[in-house]
Structure 1
């Protein structure tokens, strides 16, 4: 990332989660040294799958109303 004109815009437009070394929420590290801490990834995957299914069902309903 080379900031040519606007360094803040360069970071926002080109950075990703891999560029973040540490994140604190309410005074507690949730990511440190580039690793997510204290997270049940299996639970998050299940929640994501459920959200995806719900969203797809809503999109199908919208599509049916438009036809």
Structure 2
């Protein structure tokens, strides 16, 4: 059973940004998908702002 068929869709996030090409047919997407703005993509993929907010990456053994 897929996570999006359980009635728990509010517990997961499904989003995309700047999709194009043959696989980008939006008619087959779930209705609750979120389209991300460029700013949202930047905030979620920026290592310093999202992943490493408290500097834990620099503290890892080399």
Q: Normalising by structure 2, what TM-score?
A: 0.31
- Which structure carries more helix by proportion? 1
Higher RCO structure (Cα 8 Å, ≥6 apart): 2
Hey, which of these two has a bigger chunk of strand by percent? 1
**When the two structures are superposed, what TM-score results if normalisation uses the length of structure 1?**
0.29
